[in-house]
Structure 1
Amino acid sequence: MTIHHHMRHQPYIPHNLSRIPSAPIPGQWTSGLCHCFDDPVNCAITCVCPCITFGQITEIINRGSKSCVSRGFLFGMLSMVGAACFYSCFYRSKLRGQYDLPEEPCTDCLVHFCCAACALCQEYRELKNRGFDMGIGWEANMDRQKRGVTMAPIVVPGMAR
């Protein structure tokens, strides 16, 4: 059997579907630090106004005890004095603790210091991939969960049983 003949039997997965997240695996991030363009809308928002993404992340991580607006505003104020990365690395650590995620590719503060936009995009995607609707906040997510409304599962073509 030739290599070409063998390859015809492999399911074809288009390149743009290769990064579609599957169910979260305990102890692993659902997407990489540099996969910002997996969610181009969030990437653009984060690049233009990172305080919005940060506020959305922190409202979920804080389980609604702090509002998106208050944390986003504080992040914006700290950005003006160059201290936002220290504040945001705290929340990356908190997120990792909640989901038992590894500190990679380096320490949380270094990730936020060197690439804050990528870190925020990854954290946003992590929460989204774990079932949160990032645009509606903590209370609305909990209300949806109580009513049994969940996100539709992501199905990769050609991978049916």
Structure 2
Amino acid sequence: MYSKQEDAAPAPPATGIPMNSGVGGNTYYHAGTTGFALPGQAPLAAWSTGLCNCFDDCGNCCVTCLCPCITFGQIAEIIDRGSTSCGASGALYTLIMLLTGCQCIYSCFYRAKMRAQYGLQESPCADCCVHWCCEPCALCQEYRELKKRGFDLKLGWHANMERQGRTPATMPPLMHPGMTR
């Protein structure tokens, strides 16, 4: 009638990060096969390309090394789903770079946002460490990931949505003209 504990599948190892379960005690995040996931959720996916696979797209690698604000702007427009333009994001990136030299802090937030949107692992290390140590490689990896997910980053968010046959959620509703003479 009752199954023995030995017959049950072993639980994944706990990582030690407490999470309040709301029912008499703590549960813990478990290590999945490809990343960390909450119990009942799918494990996090791996990036489609490695951090140092820049030669998969030499053209983007050269653009990113010479002018990273262009690549960052293209990435930010897609991640923000068209709410900010490529030009505005690239200009802000450049301004932060010229005034403080800490543009990697700004760009690491977009990496974290991208990982959350697509369920990607935080690898090979923390987002800020990746951008601090190798900003061009991180931007190229993010660019390649979005490209492999079907985006043409040169087109921007709205043109990608039109190409895919979807109406962007950020488009305002059509307004009928008011009273005219």
Normalised by the length of structure 2, the TM-score is: 0.66
Q: What CA distance in whole angstroms lies between the structure 2 residues aligned with 1:103 and 1:79?
A: 24
SS of residue paired to 2:164: helix
SS of residue paired to 2:46: coil
**What does residue 58 of structure 1 align with?**
76
**What does residue 15 of structure 2 align with?**
none
In the TM superposition, residue 83 of structure 1 has moved relative to its aligned partner by 1.5
Q: What CA distance in whole angstroms lies between the structure 2 residues aligned with 1:115 and 1:77?
A: 19
**What does residue 160 of structure 2 align with?**
141
Bigger Rg over Cα: 2
Q: Which has the higher strand share?
A: 2
In the TM superposition, residue 27 of structure 1 has moved relative to its aligned partner by 1.0
45, 57, 61: which is aligned to 2:63? Answer: 45
In the TM superposition, residue 118 of structure 1 has moved relative to its aligned partner by 0.1
Measured on the aligned residues, the alpha-carbon RMSD in Å equals 1.0
Work out which structure has the larger RCO, using CA pairs closer than 8 Å and 6 or more positions apart in sequence: 1
The reply to whether residue 85 of structure 1 matches residue 112 of structure 2 is: no
Map 1:79-158 to 2 at 5 A.
Answer: 79-80=97-98, 81-146=100-165
> How many residue pairs are counted as aligned between the two chains?
122
Runs of 4+ in 1 over 6 A off after TM superposition: none
Q: Which runs of 5+ in 2 are unaligned?
A: 1-43, 167-181
Q: What CA distance in whole angstroms lies between the structure 2 residues aligned with 1:85 and 1:69?
A: 18
24, 42, 46: which is aligned to 1:28? Answer: 46
Q: What CA distance in whole angstroms lies between the structure 2 residues aligned with 1:28 and 1:137?
A: 25
Normalised by the length of structure 1, the TM-score is: 0.74
Q: What CA distance in whole angstroms lies between the structure 2 residues aligned with 1:73 and 1:30?
A: 28
In the TM superposition, residue 113 of structure 1 has moved relative to its aligned partner by 0.4
Q: What CA distance in whole angstroms lies between the structure 1 residues aligned with 2:159 and 2:142?
A: 19
Q: Which runs of 5+ in 1 are unaligned?
A: 1-25, 148-161
In the TM superposition, residue 133 of structure 1 has moved relative to its aligned partner by 0.5
Q: Which has the higher helix share?
A: 1
Q: Which amino acid aligns with 1:137?
A: G
In the TM superposition, residue 28 of structure 1 has moved relative to its aligned partner by 1.6
Q: Which amino acid aligns with 1:28?
A: A
Q: What CA distance in whole angstroms lies between the structure 1 residues aligned with 2:105 and 2:90?
A: 14
Q: Which amino acid aligns with 1:34?
A: C
In the TM superposition, residue 82 of structure 1 has moved relative to its aligned partner by 1.1
Give identity over the alignment, percent.
62
47, 53, 69: which is aligned to 2:87? Answer: 69
In the TM superposition, residue 29 of structure 1 has moved relative to its aligned partner by 0.7
